[in-house]
Structure 1
Amino acid sequence: MIPQSKKPLNNEEDIICKLPNELLTKILSLLPESDANRTRILSKRWKSLYALLPNVHLVMPFCWSFEQANKFHDFVDQTLAIRGNMAVEKFFLYCSKNCDYGRVYDLICAVVRCKVRVIELRFPADRYRVKFCWDLFKTCNTLVELTLKGEFVLDVPGDNLLFPFLKKLDLVSIVYACDQSATNLISGCPVLEELFVERQVIGRSDYLQRLNICSASLKRLRLSFAMCVSGDYEVVIDAPKLEYVNVLDVMLTYYYLTKPLCLNEAHIKIQATSDSESVTQFVTSISSVKILTLTDSTLMALCYIPDMPVFPNLVKFAIGNYNVLWGWSTLPRLLENMPNLEHITFLHGLLPFPHTQHSFDMRWNPPVEVPTCLRLKMKEIIIKNRETITQEEFTLLKYLLKQCKNLEILIINAHKIDHKRRDRLLNFPRGSNVCCIKLV
């Protein structure tokens, strides 16, 4: 017999549903978006609770007809009606084919009035120019992050002020009405601190020939030009407060800086242009950087110039593939121009092709004068993306271990190294008494 205090609850009794809306919405807001969305099917009350969450996430299913699209728009209107004038923390809207741009415009206007802080909009690829409530954005003192995605045409007016308090702007796969649209959008954000531009328009142009990044407040810049039609493009950077730059570019883009930058961190992966002049000027203009990543093509352009720039503040350096033609011959020269370097990472091993077992003539002739950073500063060397260690790599590793007087750790990704090669490496003479070798 079950004690009185242990009697099971009545099946019709729902303790959770008796909790106040404020507590339930707090619980739902802690769940992943997909899990919180599933609670809408439990009952009418749960459907209303989902509409009251601080983050509004709306994904339009693929619609074959305008009638199907209108059902989605009706659902969106019902959701906003339940919320009333409640503030929106984050608003996500993903539209698909046959969406009604007029109703979408009204929706964006309604959300802006709800003191929204973060907006992410994605529209399908079509010929339409999505209408934005530019005048209403000017009065929004809460919006701090905006993301626009999709191959739709963005036409931005030439007003001086569009987003008075926007700090972060992401532009992904956008088609621009003209170069001036991108310029107007960036310059219309007077307190912008972070900008991300991704060009990924496959099969047709995004009509952007010159990207002019002019911002007196910008601190972080990321550019990704990985998949786009070929052509000659230009990027002009006029951002005196810039601290961080990350560029991934496989297109033939020419970069121009109005003045040298005092960066803290830069990651440059640029496909070198035919004359390499633009790449070398760009890297030279950021020579005050403290943390730097350079890939093989960028390194090639840099090493070809007679007067390689000096990086006096650089303490952490990550290096991409070495070109098989010039091998390690430029490494001493590169390190000599980094006198305070403490950490170096070889992202793809020490050879041009990290997983090959073939022999290469890496043209390694130890310099008569050991680079300053090796003698006095180097603390950590990391070699990634390797399976074992080849004879050629042993040559350079032996030199580094002997000449780095303050080296603390050497980490090598060599999980297939045999015992003989492992023992040989561990027995190399070390210039530092505290140096530890770690194979992972």
Structure 2
Amino acid sequence: MENSNKVPQLSRNDMLSHLPAEILLVILSLLPRSDAAVMRCLSRTWRKLYDSVFLSFFCDEFDRLGKKEYMRHVKTTLRRRKEKGLESFQVIWLHKKSDAWLHYAVHNDAKSIHVIYLRDAWEQHILPDRLLYSGSLEELAIYSYSRKPELAVCDMHLRSLRRLIILSLTIDGDFSYLVSRRCPVLKELYFVSCKLEFKELASKSLRNLTIERCCVGTEYTEGSVTINTPNLQHLHYNAVWPDYLRKKQDRLEYVYDIWTKLDVEIPELKTLTLGGLWLTGTIHAVDYFLQKTGSLEHLTFLCNSRAIVSEDISFPCPEDLYSSDLKIKG
């Protein structure tokens, strides 16, 4: 009778090795770590993927593992993507030595880099200079899971960057200026759950702008933001209340103050999605956005139970916007 506790052996022709690295990463993210460790015994590809994720990212074993060994694991798992060199790179930021991984990714002309901060102690998140001057980087995502620390960037020049994603960070005027002036081919910009403390966002190359669950301004500054994007085609703007506004009357005054100071340049806009404070208390803000768009095709409202939007509200719509293109999502 065979021993039921026998450890599974590594197979030379395992089926897991035939799966793309992207699929293996999804499976790895869904499994408990103990089960993932057992799977490590069944597949050479899985073993290398498991080691590259857990040993390099989640544990402080940079010195022991070394760059060359780490890159050998990553390149093996990404072999089936049929792309030359290192194309995609993700760093879980737990310690200062994470800089070395970013430097190596930039040195190998990575086109997509995702940086995830997990440390709560830092008041600022500082990206390495070498990353901010990459000539090959096309997509950059920066995530934070602490209390919206400030993203500190003194200068940058990302001449190939087309997609920028920022989650749970505080963005000041210096950073927005650099994005506008030093990212000449930027097409897509996403702010999610951020504090936006800049006054102006200007870009001639931008086509898609998403501002989702973001707070605009501070208690000591004006809440209005100038959006100067003459070639923008898609705008998703779901603004939330600042934390310091507690009373209903203060919120209504805040909305009125913002929409009267709005300065938006979006003549080529095709798709508009509005939500949050833009739909509370007054419809004038919606009217303003519609007046600024000359060729709008789709309009969507994101509503909750407290938003003051009803069927009897009327406002002037562009002639080419049909009633079927107006959606209200609750």
* Residue of structure 2 aligned with 1:285, choices 287, 292, 302: 292
> In structure 2, the residue corresponding to 1:263 is in which secondary structure?
coil
Count of matched residue positions in the alignment of Structure 1 and Structure 2: 282
1: distance between equivalents of 2:205 and 2:271?
Answer: 17
| 2:219 is the counterpart of 1:224 | no
Q: Which residue of 2 aligns with 1:78?
A: 65
Q: 1:350-361 alignment to 2 at 5 Å?
A: none
Q: For the structure 1 residues 81 and 59, does the alpha-carbon distance in structure 2 shift closer, same or farther, using more than 3 Å as the test?
A: closer
> Residues 247 and 73 (structure 1 numbering): CA distance in 2 closer, same or farther, change over 3 Å?
same
Which residue does the alignment assign to 1:380? none
CA RMSD of aligned residues (A): 4.0
Report the AA paired with residue 239 of structure 2. D
Specify the code of the residue in structure 1 equivalent to 2:140: L
Deviation digits for residues 266-290 of structure 1 (CA, Å, limit 9, x no counterpart): 1122524889766543331124211
Q: Which of residues 73, 88, 91 in structure 2 aligns to 1:90?
A: 88
User: Do residues 215 (structure 1) and 233 (structure 2) align?
Assistant: no
User: Which TM-score applies when normalising by structure 2?
Assistant: 0.68
Question: In the alignment, residue 268 of structure 1 is paired with which amino acid?
Answer: L
Correspondent of 1:246 among 236, 239, 252? 236
Question: Structure 1 residues 167 and 51, CA, compared in 2 at 3 Å: closer, same or farther?
Answer: farther
CA apart distance, 1:243: 0.8
State the secondary structure of the residue aligned to 1:225: strand
Matched, 1:164 2:154: no
Specify the alignment match of 1:417 in structure 2: none
Partner deviation per Cα, 1:300-331 (whole Å, 9 max, x = no partner): xxxxxxxxxxxxxxxxxxxx8634xxx62x54
* Deviation sequence 1:374-419 (CA, Å, 0-9, x none): xxxxxxxxxxx7xxxxxxxxxxxxxxxxxxxxxxxxxxxxxxxxxx
Please state if 1:108 is matched with 2:102: yes
Q: Contact 1:94–1:122 (CA<8 Å) still a contact in 2?
A: yes
Question: Following TM superposition, by how much is the alpha carbon of 1:166 offset from its aligned partner in structure 2, in angstroms?
Answer: 1.1
- Contact 2:301–2:327 (CA under 8 A) maintained in structure 1: no
Q: Is the 8 A contact 1:90 1:118 kept in 2?
A: yes
Matched-pair contact (CA < 8 Å) for 2:92–2:116: yes
* CA displacement, residues 332-372 of structure 1 (integer Å, 9 cap, x when unaligned): x647x646625155636xxxxxxxxxxxxxxxxxxxxxxxx
* AA of the residue aligned to 2:225: V
Check 1:195–1:346 CA distance in 2 against 1; reply closer, same or farther (3 A cut). Answer: closer
Q: Which residue of 2 aligns with 1:65?
A: none
Cα distance in structure 2, aligned partners of 1:36 and 1:28: 13
SS at match of 1:108: helix
Specify which of 107, 129, 132 is matched with residue 127 of structure 2: 132
Distance 1:289 1:100, change over 3 A: same
2:324 aligned partner? 343
| 1:130-174 Cα shifts (integer Å, max 9, x gaps) | 332223542441x21111111333111235x2x121111011111
Structure 1 residues 12 and 225, CA gap change in structure 2 (3 angstroms): closer
Per-residue deviation, 1:115: 2.8
Equivalent residue letter for 1:256? D
SS of aligned partner of 1:88: coil
Q: Which runs of 5+ in 1 are unaligned?
A: 1-10, 62-71, 201-205, 298-319, 349-384, 386-440
Q: Is this contact kept in 2: 1:145–1:169, CA < 8 A?
A: yes
Q: Is the 8 A contact 2:197 2:218 kept in 1?
A: no
Unaligned runs of 5+ residues in structure 2 are 1-5, 30-34, 76-84, 242-253
Q: Hey, what's the Cα distance between the residues in 1 that align with 2:180 and 2:121?
A: 23
Identity %: 15
Q: Tell me which of 202, 206, 227 is aligned to 1:237.
A: 227
Shift in alpha-carbon separation, 1:83–1:26, aligned structure 2, 3 A:
farther
Give the alignment of 1:163-182 within 5 angstroms.
Answer: 163-176=158-171, 178-182=172-176
Distance 1:283 1:187 in 2: 27
2:149 maps to a residue whose letter is F
When Rg is computed on C-alpha atoms for both structures, the one with the higher figure is 1
Partner of 1:27: 19
CA distance in 1, matches of 2:217, 2:123: 21
